[in-house]
Amino acid sequence: MRMNNRQKLFGKLGVLAAVAATILSAAQQSIWADSNAPVWAMRGGDPGHTNQSSLFAPQADIKTLWKVDLGANSFCQPAIGTDGTIYVTNDLGQLIAVSPQGQKLWTVSGASSRASSPAIGNDGTIYFGSGDYVSTGNNAYVYAVNPDGTELWRANVGSAHPYDPIIDAQGRIHVTTWTQSGLGSYYCLNPDGSQAWSGQGIGSPALLPNGDTVSQMATSFRCYDSSGNTAWTTYYGYSLAPPIVAGNGDLYAAKYDAEVWKIDPTTGAKLQTINTGRNGVKSLSIDDNAQRLYVSEDNVLQSFDLNGDLKWTYPTTGGRSGAALIDAAGNLVVAQGQVGNGIDYISSSGTLVWHFAADESSHHFGMPTVGTGNVFYATNWTYNGSSGYLYAVVPEPSALVLLAAGGLGLAGRGTRRVVRRAWGRRIKNASRRL
């Protein structure tokens, strides 16, 4: 069936609205916005760990596009390069590259059995750390890998497994290591793998707008300047959760016993205390546009405004697996954690939009990542040590889209894949005309 002029007009307006929404979203980006950056560069998305994405997760009617056997458990958050390649690690100490079509491209093996989440530099270099969970020798390394899977260099970082690395504006890699005593080492590595400076710390550090970094310690937070000198140390007690840096430069951190703090990034002084009313604070996310702070705890996800007022509480079936990812719609993609085997998509008002369950009932998902084309990726793991998988999950075309496809003259072409490709071409062409 041919479209009349009114249908054509509404079709063009719909495409223009989608493109305009994307442009508006880009205009509201934070200090971490970088046009040269990968789609998802590192755990938390940026060196401040805000967990904000400029892309949309599937909004409804989801299905598995593909899944890839990773050969071992995987606890990482996937990273995504500028070309759409997905990078993940597993508990064999391996870095694995997977194409957007679900094909394994290559595997790089580290020297040890545990691997951090990967991080991608603006030049496309992929970094990951590998080390044993229990210190067994001087065999922990940070690896730099070219996009074709060839090793560029490796740098020794002691004897315990590294946490997830971040990359600063100079292209330097910041990583800490875990030890059985609780406090590990902090390494700042130059882009060529040489050591710029070292200190102490645990957990993935957070980068401040002035180039300083804040690292979690055993009983405190410590701020290092860009040369490795201690700028400040503030003691907050035991059981601290890693800090995050908002898009406006504000610093937030948490303690497992129900407190979240806003901290002065220049002095380390506590500026604000938010009492969550629940023990077990594990991780934070912040939505700069909505001015919301999301707190992942053992059995709930909570939303606070930046004045510290509780907006809603979302109950769960088990401990959350890392921070909530905030998509371009302001909704949340959250792994259920150690009891459930799925991922929830929660609206900004705290209601469930959809739930996705793994094929493997005994497996649990780690932190998801949103890619282009309304797809999300997530890896999973199980207590019995069997293989983990990388899932790609996409929208299922709705009846409305299929009806619209008839108006575009596509109804007779057979598959929903054709529909999706046609819509993708129209959006791309419209954006070019703009």
Per residue in 137-160, pLDDT tens?
A: 678 899 999 999 999 999 999 878
pLDDT, residue 426, reads: 35
The answer for residues whose C-beta is within 8 angstroms of residue 1's C-beta and 6 or more apart is 406, 407, 409
Separation of CA 294 from chain center: 14
How many Å apart are CA 379 and CA 15, to the nearest integer? 33
Q: Which two tokens stand for residue 17?
A: 């609205």
The pLDDT value recorded for residue 4 is 44
The predicted pLDDT at position 339 comes to 58
pLDDT value of residue 205: 95
CATH topology of domain 41-57+81-330: Methylamine Dehydrogenase; Chain H (2.130.10)
Residue 184's DSSP bridge partners are 201
Own/partner long-range contacts of 20-28 (Cβ < 8 Å, ≥24 apart):
22/328, 22/431, 25/54, 25/328, 26/54, 28/288, 28/289
Arithmetic mean of pLDDT over the chain:
82
Judging by DSSP bridges, how do beta strands 352-357 and 332-335 pair with one another? unpaired
Instruction: Round to whole Å and give the CA distance between 277 and 295.
Output: 11
pLDDT in tens, 76-107: 999 999 999 999 999 899 999 999 999 999 99
**What's the whole-number mean pLDDT along residues 335-359?**
85
Residues spanned by CATH 2.130.10.10 within the chain?
A: 41-57+81-330
207 or 182, higher pLDDT? 207
Kindly list the distances between the CA atom of residue 125 and the CA atoms of 111, 144, 284, 300, in Å, as whole numbers in the listed order.
19, 6, 27, 37
Position 293 scores a pLDDT of 95
Q: Rounded to two decimals, what is the model's pTM?
A: 0.84
Per-residue tokens: 395? 């929208």
Q: How far is CA 265 from CA 221, 230, 269, 270, in A?
A: 11, 13, 8, 9
